[in-house]
Amino acid sequence: MPRQKEASDSAGDRAGHTGRYAICAHGLTKRYADAEAVCGVDLHVRPGETFGFLGPNGAGKTTTIAMLCALARPTSGRAVVAGADVRTQQQQVRRGVGLLFQQSAVDPDLTLERNLYLHARLYGLPRARSRARSAALLELTGLTERRRHRVRTLSGGLRRRLEIARALLHEPGVLFLDEPTVGLDPHSRAQVWDHLARLRAHRNTTVFVTTHYLDEAEHCDRVAILDRGRVVAEGTPAALKAAIGDDRLRVRTGDDAAAAAALREDLGLRPVTAPEGLTVAVAAGPRQIPRLCAALAARGVAVHAVSLTEPTLDDVFFHHTGRRITPPGAPLGGDGNRP
Amino acid sequence: MTAAVAAPPGALLRELRAVHALVLRDLLRMFGQPLQTVVMLAQPLLFLVLLGGGLAALVPATAVGGDYRTYLFPGVLVMTVQTPALTVGMRLITDRESGYLRETLMAPVRRSSLLYGHCLGGTAVASAQGAVLLAAGSLAGLPFHPLLLLSLLATLALTAFMLTALTAALAIGIRGVESFHTLLSLALMPLLFLSGAFFPLTALPGWLTQLAAVNPLAYAVDVLRRSIEGYVPGTLATTGVRWAGRQPPALLELLVLALMGAGGLAWAARRFGRLE
């Protein structure tokens, strides 16, 4: 007992003010021989918070998670996760965190029950406790009836739920989820988020989740946007959207170039040209529409359609990076973009 | 009472639990796939019955020191433990591809413990299959004698451990299952033929006997054969590995096996620790 106290004291000293956070990183950097994958990431995640980590593929999300879970060694910078330093207290970090990988794997030839039991033992839980925890999590994820089935027979959504159950076996205070819904159908995606919400309500677990489905980021208390290894914006989804202008007007005209010039010169706006028309950020959008139409009519530009949308996180990403996070053809944030 | 339950278990206990989990996984997989296990056992049995049966009448007892089937039995035993031992290497590669290995690496224990778990799992499965084949000893003229069976099983376990450790060390650096397959099929044939499993090493030309002297399987086969020697009348185990023209003592041969296993394990642990 005295030894344990000493260990937590020294961890507290080293953590300093970082003790208040479930995840705290300063200048976290990972450099590979040919490229810098993560450059100087700072993060502060409070206990019990659901924190979204957004960015396109290759932005460095997975590498950041690997460093926060003490799987990969940071080239420089430091991080304290679940009260332990990722550089010097790797095993303590791992005991305190649960991790769901992007391509998570369970042994397909073993049953659900056995997969969970083996994983609990791997994490050092005693036999009886391993059995009890496995049963409790099968219950929580609604998989109890399937417990004697081989994992091979599960659908993608159920398998994901089993993997979430596995990540929670050792009761981690911080749960890392790397693209937990990638490759799932919309129904299964919604179910995963339901489970995460329930988990939060029950146990106050800190959840750190990466995704490139921007609509899912709306489930988070706060998000950070990562681009090319750097955090370019951080805040609540509402604050991030408010910061880039209240509304977007999408305008379709007979001559986009002339219309853009008119908006710039006559109204002092900054329109962005895209193949499907012009987009312009304005405050108090509904009142701007008549003004905008009048200005365009004065220049003799035919207006075919004007639509007003509230900004999405994709707009936030575009604002900070000049690129869209969602590849063409993939579902965008919000509901209106899917047929 | 509650405090005692909540207190973290000793570090060693945690490491042991992780090792146990990995061994248990291998055993559960074996019992979960009985068909595959039977097929794995069929191959060495076929060798014993077909090759042994065919050649027993042709090969004179003076050439191999006794009945050919008895001569062949140690080689058949080594073949039996070899397949499951090599499967460990294969599993490391497929686990890495599927992501299961990364999950395992997240466990809050030392990397080396995880590797020991993998190797012990392979050794346990291989020894279990070796034990099944020992029951077929009467086909090769072996008497049912507990001491003989025990000593054979112990040697088989050591051989399985050595093979597992060496394969694991090789497999860690290899990315694809195919390249590993290619490497194995290239290596296995000479290893088996230069082990004295099928014909006396003393019959080989001089430069090949030098090669046989560095073949770990040659030591395994020779130790097994020397254990049998005392129990089956009319057999002589004098055709195995030679050091400068003399047969090394059996204990020394066992030591060679153990050292090769330990060396392989240390090498594998080193490479395993660097995985990211």
Does residue B242 carry a pLDDT above 50?
A: yes
Higher pLDDT, A326 or B108: B108
Contact B225, B74 (CB under 8 A): yes
Beta strands A84-85 and A247-253, pairing class = unpaired
Task: Identify the pLDDT of residue A246.
Answer: 67
Determine contact: A114 vs chain B, CB below 8 A: yes
Tell if the CB–CB gap between B21 and A119 is shorter than 8 Å. yes
* Of the candidate ranges A6-20, A253-267, B43-57, the one whose mean pLDDT is the lowest: A6-20
Among candidates A22, A5, A27, which has minimal Cα distance to A229?
A27
Q: What percent of chain A has pLDDT over 90?
A: 35
Q: How far apart are CA B212 and CA B256, in angstroms?
A: 13
Does residue A327 carry a pLDDT above 80?
A: no
Q: How far apart are CA A293 and CA A301, in angstroms?
A: 9
Task: Identify the pLDDT of residue B274.
Answer: 82
Q: How far apart are CA B22 and CA B17, in angstroms?
A: 9
Between chain A and chain B, the number of residue pairs with CB atoms below 8 A apart is 76
Give me the mean pLDDT over the A279-284 stretch. 76
Does residue A10 carry a pLDDT above 50?
A: no
Q: How far apart are CA A241 and CA A247, in angstroms?
A: 9
Closest partner CB to B104 (pick from A91, A95, A122): A122
Closest partner CB to A121 (pick from B21, B106, B108): B21
Among candidates B123, B122, B120, which has minimal Cα distance to B15?
B120
Tokens representing A255? 């001559």
SS (H, E, C) B56-95: HCCCCHHHHCCCHHHHHHHHHHHHHHHHHHHHHHHHHHHH
Give me the mean pLDDT over the B101-126 stretch. 92
Does residue A95 carry a pLDDT above 70?
A: yes
Chain A nearest C-alpha distance from B94 (Å) = 11
* Residue B236 belongs to a domain: yes
Pick the residue from chain B with its C-alpha nearest to A93: B108
In sequence order, what are the residues at sequence separation of 6 or more whose Cβ sits closer than 8 angstroms to the Cβ of residue B206? Answer: none
Chain B nearest C-alpha distance from A134 (Å) = 14
Dihedral over Cα of A108, A110, A114, A120: its sign: negative
Q: How confident is the model at residue A339 (pLDDT cuts 50, 70, 90)?
A: very low
DSSP class of residue A69 equals T
Q: What angle do CA B124, B182, B104 make, to 5 degrees?
A: 45
* Residue B3 belongs to a domain: no
B-chain residues within 8 Å CB-CB of A107? 25, 29, 100
Chain B nearest C-alpha distance from A157 (Å) = 17
Q: How far apart are CA B206 and CA A279, in angstroms?
A: 84
Contact A15, A85 (CB under 8 A): yes
A-chain residues within 8 Å CB-CB of B14? 124
Determine contact: A125 vs chain B, CB below 8 A: yes
Hey, how many other C-beta atoms are within 10 angstroms of the C-beta on A160? 25
Hey, how many other C-beta atoms are within 10 angstroms of the C-beta on B227? 20
**What is the rounded average pLDDT for all residues in chain A?**
82
Helices B216-229 and B177-193: angle between axes, nearest 10 degrees: 50
**Residues B41-94: pLDDT tens digits?**
998 999 898 888 888 888 888 888 888 889 999 999 999 999 888 888 898 999
| CA Rg value for chain B | 20
Does residue A329 carry a pLDDT above 60?
A: no
Chain B nearest C-alpha distance from A16 (Å) = 24
SS (H, E, C) B186-234: HHHHHHHHCCCCCCCHHHCCHHHHHHHCCCHHHHHHHHHHHHHHCCCCC
**Residues B262-274: pLDDT tens digits?**
999 999 999 998 8
Q: How confident is the model at residue A12 (pLDDT cuts 50, 70, 90)?
A: very low
* Of the candidate ranges A53-62, A108-117, B23-32, the one whose mean pLDDT is the lowest: A53-62
* Residue B148 belongs to a domain: yes
Q: What is the ipTM of this complex?
A: 0.84
* Of the candidate ranges A68-77, A269-278, B99-108, the one whose mean pLDDT is the lowest: A269-278
* Residue B9 belongs to a domain: no
* Residue B169 belongs to a domain: yes
In sequence order, what are the residues at sequence separation of 6 or more whose Cβ sits closer than 8 angstroms to the Cβ of residue B82? Answer: B126, B163, B188, B217
**Residues B216-238: pLDDT tens digits?**
999 999 999 999 988 887 787 77
Q: How confident is the model at residue A6 (pLDDT cuts 50, 70, 90)?
A: very low
Chain A nearest C-alpha distance from B38 (Å) = 17
Among candidates A185, A275, A210, which has minimal Cα distance to A65?
A210
Q: How confident is the model at residue A129 (pLDDT cuts 50, 70, 90)?
A: very high
Task: Identify the pLDDT of residue B128.
Answer: 94
Does residue A336 carry a pLDDT above 80?
A: no
Closest partner CB to B108 (pick from A95, A103, A106): A95
* Residue B119 belongs to a domain: yes
Helix (H, G, I), strand (E, B) or coil at A279: strand
**Of chain A residues 129-168, which have a CB less than 8 A from chain B?**
none
Q: Give pTM, 2 decimals.
A: 0.79
* Residue B1 belongs to a domain: no
Task: Identify the pLDDT of residue B11.
Answer: 84
Q: How far apart are CA B201 and CA B214, in angstroms?
A: 12
* Residue B65 belongs to a domain: yes
* Of the candidate ranges A334-338, B13-17, B257-261, the one whose mean pLDDT is the lowest: A334-338
Mutation choice for A interface testing from B23, B97, B98, B106 by most A CBs within 10 A: B106
Task: Identify the pLDDT of residue A332.
Answer: 40
Higher pLDDT, B245 or B75: B75
Q: How confident is the model at residue B152 (pLDDT cuts 50, 70, 90)?
A: very high
Residue B218's domain comprises 14-273
Contact A242, A266 (CB under 8 A): no
Task: Identify the pLDDT of residue A77.
Answer: 93
Q: What percent of chain B has pLDDT over 70?
A: 96
Please state the length of chain A.
339
Mutation choice for A interface testing from B12, B15, B17 by most A CBs within 10 A: B17
Does residue A337 carry a pLDDT above 80?
A: no
b/e per residue A278-294 (b: at least 16 CB within 10 A): bbbbbeebeebbeebee
Among candidates A103, A100, A105, A215, which has minimal Cα distance to A164?
A100
Tell if the CB–CB gap between A107 and B100 is shorter than 8 Å. yes
Q: How confident is the model at residue A88 (pLDDT cuts 50, 70, 90)?
A: very high
Closest partner CB to A118 (pick from B24, B33, B276): B24
Task: Identify the pLDDT of residue B253.
Answer: 93
A-chain residues within 8 Å CB-CB of B102? 71, 101, 105
Tell if the CB–CB gap between B29 and A72 is shorter than 8 Å. no
CA distances from A5 to A24, A124, A172, B56 (A): 22, 21, 20, 72
Q: How far apart are CA A170 and CA A137, in angstroms?
A: 11
Give me the mean pLDDT over the B133-154 stretch. 90
Interface residues of B toward A, Cβ cutoff 8 Å, are 7-9, 13-14, 17-18, 20-22, 24-25, 28-29, 32-33, 95, 98-100, 102-109, 276
Higher pLDDT, A196 or B270: B270
Dihedral over Cα of A210, A216, A217, A220: its sign: negative
Long-range contacts of B27-30 (CB under 8 A, 24+ apart): B27/B121, B27/B124, B27/B125, B27/B128, B28/A110, B28/A114, B28/A118, B29/A107, B29/A109, B29/A110, B30/B84, B30/B125, B30/B128
Domains in chain A, CATH or no CATH each: 2-236 (3.40.50.300), 245-310 (3.30.70)
- The runs of H, that is alpha helices, within A59-126 are 61-68, 90-96, 112-122
Does residue A76 carry a pLDDT above 50?
A: yes
Q: Where are the beta strands (DSSP E) in A212-260?
A: 222-227, 230-235, 247-253
B-chain residues within 8 Å CB-CB of A106? 100
Tokens representing A146? 């399937």
Tell if the CB–CB gap between A121 and B28 is shorter than 8 Å. no
- Per the structure, the count of domains in chain B is 1
Does residue A141 carry a pLDDT above 60?
A: yes
Cα A267 to chain center, whole Å?
37
- The runs of H, that is alpha helices, within A222-284 are 237-243, 256-267
Pick the residue from chain A with its C-alpha nearest to B273: A71
Task: Identify the pLDDT of residue B9.
Answer: 54
Give me the mean pLDDT over the B113-130 stretch. 94
Please state the length of chain B.
276
Tell if the CB–CB gap between B103 and A104 is shorter than 8 Å. yes
Task: Identify the pLDDT of residue B19.
Answer: 95
**What is the rounded average pLDDT for all residues in chain B?**
88
**Residues B165-177: pLDDT tens digits?**
999 999 988 888 8
Closest partner CB to B25 (pick from A71, A104, A107): A107
Among candidates A133, A146, A135, A138, which has minimal Cα distance to A172?
A133
**Residues B9-38: pLDDT tens digits?**
588 899 999 999 999 999 999 998 888 888
Q: How far apart are CA A169 and CA B168, in angstroms?
A: 29
Beta strands A76-81 and A23-31, pairing class = antiparallel
Does residue B6 carry a pLDDT above 70?
A: no
B-chain residues within 8 Å CB-CB of A126? 9, 17
Give me the mean pLDDT over the A240-267 stretch. 79
Q: How confident is the model at residue A46 (pLDDT cuts 50, 70, 90)?
A: very high
